[in-house]
Amino acid sequence: MYQVDAFTDKLFSGNPAAVVILESPLTDDVMQSIAGENNLSETAFVSIHENPVSIRWFTPSIEVDLCGHATLASARILFDYYPDRAGEEINFDSKSGNLKVTKCNDGLCLNFPADQPIEKKIDSLFIEILDIEPLKLLRGKDDYLAIFKNQKQIEDMQPKLFLLKKINARGLVISAPGDEVDFVSRCFYPEAGIEEDPVTGSAHTMLTPYWANQFNKEDLEGHQLSKRGGKLNCRLVNDRVYISGNSVIYFEGTISIV
């Protein structure tokens, strides 16, 4: 097992992910138990005995269909430690289809399906959760997206997380234009065992199409304003989102399962 800080070039920032390399299968229960023991926002299980290499992601409490930072972390480990399985481009088989990862000037680049959010009527529940009415409320494949006027509102927001279980979604993303970048965001997933995610690659498959349309540009720079913080370079190309960022390897070790 390895642990990698993703979407950062500094240790102890970005989003930490565990990467477990499997040479033979594990049961779902064991993988969930390992993820719970790690107690990180995500643990990725990478099956290098399969072709193409398969990847699955577990929070401390559930399996999820897509995770950006743990995919970037997994690719970093394959490129550095398993080059014979990586080559020039990694193709992961996942519950969200084929996911490609390549090396780029910004570290590694993820090629993910775009998630075009649909605008919804602003429900009073969201005003209660956020203590302020958003400019817009949208719904993506997995999450709600609440849009605000400026970065300070995003920084100061203190959502009532206990109410998020009522929204019938994986979680809630809040976002606004940034002071020094194109857009900023924060992501909350208490139902998945993650109160506030440090950096969320999958949320940027929804954020990128939204802000690309607002700014009428394909290339965007995003900053997730969690305590650890993370920076992502995003590009929208047709129905795909390219998300690139750096990573730092924190440790490598061996799991003992008796």
Start-end of H helices in 82-147: 83-86, 124-130
Q: Which residues contact 222 (CB under 8 A, 6 or more apart)?
A: 178, 181, 182, 183, 184, 185, 204, 207, 208, 211, 231, 232, 233, 234
Q: Which residues contact 183 (CB under 8 A, 6 or more apart)?
A: 175, 176, 177, 207, 211, 220, 222, 223
Is 42 part of the annotated catalytic residue set? yes
Using CA atoms, how far apart are residues 243 and 235, in angstroms rounded to an integer?
7
Instruction: Give the 3-state DSSP-derived string for 4-45, with helices as H, strands as E and coil as C.
Output: EEECCCCCCCCEEEEEEEECCCCCHHHHHHHHHHHCCCEEEE
Cα dihedral value 194, 41, 201, 86, nearest 10:
-160
Using CA atoms, how far apart are residues 101 and 74, in angstroms rounded to an integer?
10
Catalytically annotated residue among 23, 42, 180, 196: 42
Residues acting as catalytic residues? 42
